[in-house]
């Protein structure tokens, strides 16, 4: 492609409303333009990169044995009512009524396709002989984002690869899940992304076992907990810590238990200000209602309770924060003055709570707190539990190493769904004994736009994007320095045609512009391999070749220019291939 014949609107300035590198770079390099909040148009350069990512995803899905389908984005709302997801999605589900003849039809724009595909399969599959199989599609999804932000990282409309496996038993489900997991590792490696599979909760989609695929990135919205010593990694909701239950029998003498007036002081920060203490000195007491019964959950003042862990420790199906009335019932005080001493409900404490000597907590009386609170003497615990979010330096649950918290961008997820959708939508099969069972499902998603955004978020320098060869909109950019120089243009054009004939994606910057201007744009759009053809070089019989990530160009003889380019591309492809897992 000749630059003068394409549309690459590069920008010098950093757009004011673009906060993160990927957003800034995708706008500046002319990959995308915003239509409205949460909706972006892909321009030719951006769309070429997106299509390359899509092609890799498709190849790996097919390699893993999945079959491609294409389902309607427009879906009847009653499917979402049958699975309960109309309420679960709430405002995120874009739905509306349209007029058809004399009636209104209520429709939704698909946020994912579990409903549509399960409904389809319920009509197509009858017997175990038809199973297992995995279907996938690459299609636009819609979610009404309350806060679309970070450019294309969080949008209301995005390209997603979603796959669904259909199995008769857990062994088949595990095989499908493992095949998808392996395919995902290959996809991200081929896209040149540093990725991390992390253990995850299944979230509102239902089911139990799941992994998220994260790209560690400073601006990532998700928090990843990972071990420095082993391969343990989990998202914040899921991550265990290796802390152990504390020996509470030892007890502590400590300071005298003292009730101090704290009028109107209800938050940890306010108490610390008033009593000149650190949050680590405080016991945070949260009143929950678990399966209808109140429970006081204790964590250290500087820690965050993790509701998933609390629910698992209690083996509870439902867990919610207590309302003001329930809090008054068990503490005898308004919200903000709860504490373990004399509270009228069972206690569930995090490991770290029992380590606090002379703690400060609410006194279960309005406008008062206790100081000098010590476990065993002032309140009793049977055991302590892992109830809080992991933090930097916590011990690993699997090895002797320590945990660290890093930010990441979620680029994919794999879920063992189970029978939630097949049960609610009647997708059954009969086994060899003519017995009927719901089909066991898995679902597997990849945000294709996020692959592009994650590359721009993690592979750049002060001058622009540094594309991996596999995803780059073009592989080679040829820069003739002076287009008025006939020799320069004829050599540049010859390379351009030779490389194109060899199947290389080539961009030639044939604009009438100063060399410095072209170099700046070349760095910004980040095409991996650059060839510069200049009048002076030609007189010395040379052209310059340079990788985007290389500091200085190599001078090579004009005659071997094209061979040199092809050679370098082949070597780079081999290097990338070596990093792809089986």
Draw the binding track, 225-264, toward Zn ion (x: CB under 5 A; -: no contact): --x-xx-x--------------------------------
User: In the complex, what is the shortest distance from the CB of residue 239 to Zn ion, in angstroms, rounded to a whole number?
Assistant: 11
SS3 label, residue 477: strand
- Lookup result for tokens 């083996």: 315
Could you say whether residue 401 binds Zn ion (CB under 5 A)? yes
Report the Cα 560 to chain-centroid distance in Å.
45
Measure CA of the first residue to CA of the last residue in the chain; give whole Å: 35
Choose between 208 and 400: whose C-beta lies nearer to Zn ion: 400
- Give how far Cα 215 sits from Cα of 46, 210, 247, 473, Å: 20, 17, 39, 21
Choose between 403 and 441: whose C-beta lies nearer to Zn ion: 403
The stretch among 331-339, 396-404, 547-555, 568-576 that binds Zn ion (CB under 5 A) is: 396-404
Could you say whether residue 398 binds Zn ion (CB under 5 A)? yes
Q: How far apart are CA 53 and CA 448, in angstroms?
A: 7
User: In the complex, what is the shortest distance from the CB of residue 221 to Zn ion, in angstroms, rounded to a whole number?
Assistant: 25
Choose between 126 and 231: whose C-beta lies nearer to Zn ion: 231
Choose between 401 and 535: whose C-beta lies nearer to Zn ion: 401
Residue 99 structure tokens: 């007029």
Could you say whether residue 395 binds Zn ion (CB under 5 A)? no
DSSP label at 31? S
User: In the complex, what is the shortest distance from the CB of residue 393 to Zn ion, in angstroms, rounded to a whole number?
Assistant: 13
Could you say whether residue 53 binds Zn ion (CB under 5 A)? no
CB 150, CB 19: distance < 8 Å: yes
CB 465, CB 29: distance < 8 Å: yes
Spatial neighbors of 470 by CB under 8 A, at least 6 apart, are 52, 56, 190, 191, 192, 573, 576
Could you say whether residue 399 binds Zn ion (CB under 5 A)? yes
SS3 label, residue 39: strand
* Residues 330 to 349 in contact with Zn ion, rule: CB under 5 A: none
DSSP label at 154? B
CB 301, CB 281: distance < 8 Å: yes
Choose between 179 and 227: whose C-beta lies nearer to Zn ion: 227
User: In the complex, what is the shortest distance from the CB of residue 394 to Zn ion, in angstroms, rounded to a whole number?
Assistant: 11
Choose between 260 and 405: whose C-beta lies nearer to Zn ion: 405
Choose between 79 and 396: whose C-beta lies nearer to Zn ion: 396
Nearest of 414, 37, 432 to residue 209 by alpha carbon: 414
Could you say whether residue 393 binds Zn ion (CB under 5 A)? no
SS3 label, residue 34: strand
User: In the complex, what is the shortest distance from the CB of residue 211 to Zn ion, in angstroms, rounded to a whole number?
Assistant: 17
Q: How far apart are CA 528 and CA 225, in angstroms?
A: 33
Choose between 224 and 396: whose C-beta lies nearer to Zn ion: 396
The stretch among 219-227, 307-315, 358-366, 425-433 that binds Zn ion (CB under 5 A) is: 219-227
User: In the complex, what is the shortest distance from the CB of residue 234 to Zn ion, in angstroms, rounded to a whole number?
Assistant: 11
Interface size with Zn ion, residues (CB under 5 A): 8
The stretch among 73-81, 209-217, 223-231, 274-282 that binds Zn ion (CB under 5 A) is: 223-231
User: In the complex, what is the shortest distance from the CB of residue 135 to Zn ion, in angstroms, rounded to a whole number?
Assistant: 37
Q: Is 307 exposed, middle or buried (0-12, 13-18, 19+ CB in 10 A)?
A: middle
Q: How far apart are CA 73 and CA 24, in angstroms?
A: 30
The stretch among 85-93, 136-144, 399-407, 566-574 that binds Zn ion (CB under 5 A) is: 399-407
Could you say whether residue 198 binds Zn ion (CB under 5 A)? no
Choose between 242 and 464: whose C-beta lies nearer to Zn ion: 242
Nearest of 391, 504, 441 to residue 162 by alpha carbon: 441
Choose between 398 and 514: whose C-beta lies nearer to Zn ion: 398
The stretch among 398-406, 413-421, 517-525, 528-536 that binds Zn ion (CB under 5 A) is: 398-406
- Give how far Cα 312 sits from Cα of 22, 270, 316, 320, 387, Å: 38, 31, 7, 13, 9
Q: How far apart are CA 442 and CA 423, in angstroms?
A: 14
User: In the complex, what is the shortest distance from the CB of residue 312 to Zn ion, in angstroms, rounded to a whole number?
Assistant: 21
CB 12, CB 29: distance < 8 Å: no
Helix 561-578, helix 486-501: angle, nearest 10: 40
The stretch among 172-180, 318-326, 352-360, 393-401 that binds Zn ion (CB under 5 A) is: 393-401
Instruction: Give contact residues for Zn ion (rule: CB under 5 A).
Output: 227, 229-230, 232, 396, 398-399, 401
């Amino acid at each position: 492609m000749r630059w003068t014949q394409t549309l690459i609107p590069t920008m010098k300035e950093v757009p004011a409303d673009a906060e993160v590198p990927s957003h800034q770079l995708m706008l500046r390099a002319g990959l995308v333009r915003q239509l409205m909040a949460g909706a972006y148009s892909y321009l030719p350069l951006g769309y070429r990169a997106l299509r390359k990512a899509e092609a890799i995803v498709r190849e790996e899905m097919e390699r893993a044995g999945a079959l491609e389908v294409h389902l309607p984005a427009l879906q009847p709302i009653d499917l979402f009512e049958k699975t309960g997801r109309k309420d679960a999605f709430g405002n995120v589900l874009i739905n509306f009524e349209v007029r058809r003849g004399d009636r209104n039809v209520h429709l939704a724009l698909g946020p994912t396709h579990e409903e549509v595909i399960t409904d389809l399969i319920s009509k197509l599959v009858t017997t175990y002989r038809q199973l297992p199989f995995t279907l996938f599609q690459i299609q636009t999804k819609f979610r009404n984002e309350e806060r679309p932000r970070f450019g294309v990282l969080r949008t209301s409309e995005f390209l997603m690869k979603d796959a669904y496996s259909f199995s008769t038993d857990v062994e088949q489900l595990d095989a499908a899940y493992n095949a998808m997991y392996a395919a995902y590792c290959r996809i991200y490696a081929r896209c040149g992304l540093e990725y991390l599979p992390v253990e995850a909760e299944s979230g509102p989609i239902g089911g139990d076992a799941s992994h998220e695929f994260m790209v560690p990135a400073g601006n990532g919205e998700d928090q990843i907990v990972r071990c420095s010593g082993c391969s343990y990694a989990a998202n914040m909701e899921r991550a265990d810590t290796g802390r152990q239950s504390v020996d509470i029998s030892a007890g502590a003498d400590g300071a005298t238990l003292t009730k101090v007036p704290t009028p109107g002081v209800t938050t940890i920060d306010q108490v610390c200000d008033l009593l000149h203490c650190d949050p680590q000195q405080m016991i945070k007491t949260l009143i929950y209602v678990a399966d209808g019964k109140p429970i006081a959950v204790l964590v250290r003042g500087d820690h965050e309770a993790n509701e998933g862990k609390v629910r698992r420790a209690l083996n509870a199906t439902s867990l919610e924060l207590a309302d003001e009335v329930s809090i008054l019932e068990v503490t005898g005080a308004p919200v903000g003055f709860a504490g373990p001493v004399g509270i009228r409900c069972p206690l569930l404490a995090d490991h770290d709570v029992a380590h606090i000597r002379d703690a400060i907590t609410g006194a279960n009386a309005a406008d008062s707190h206790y100081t000098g609170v010590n476990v065993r003497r002032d309140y009793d615990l049977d055991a302590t539990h892992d109830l809080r979010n992991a933090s930097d330096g916590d011990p690993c649950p699997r090895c002797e190493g320590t945990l660290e918290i890093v930010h990441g961008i979620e680029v994919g997820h794999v879920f063992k769904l189970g029978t939630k959708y097949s049960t609610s939508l009647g997708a059954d099969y009969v086994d060899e004994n003519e017995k009927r069972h719901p089909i066991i499902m898995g679902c597997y998603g990849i945000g294709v736009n996020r692959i592009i955004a994650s590359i721009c978020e993690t592979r750049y320098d002060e001058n622009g994007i540094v594309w991996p060869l596999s995803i780059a909109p073009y592989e080679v950019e040829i820069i003739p320095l002076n287009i008025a120089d006939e020799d320069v243009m004829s050599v540049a054009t010859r390379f351009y045609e030779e490389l194109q004939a060899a199947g290389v994606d080539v961009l030639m910057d044939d604009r009438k512009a100063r060399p410095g201007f072209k170099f700046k744009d070349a760095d910004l759009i980040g095409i991996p391999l650059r060839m510069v053809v200049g009048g002076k070089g030609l007189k010395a019989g040379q052209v310059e070749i340079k990788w985007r990530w290389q500091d200085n160009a190599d001078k090579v003889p004009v005659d071997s220019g094209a061979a040199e380019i092809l050679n370098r591309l082949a070597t780079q492809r081999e290097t990338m291939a070596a990093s792809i897992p089986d």
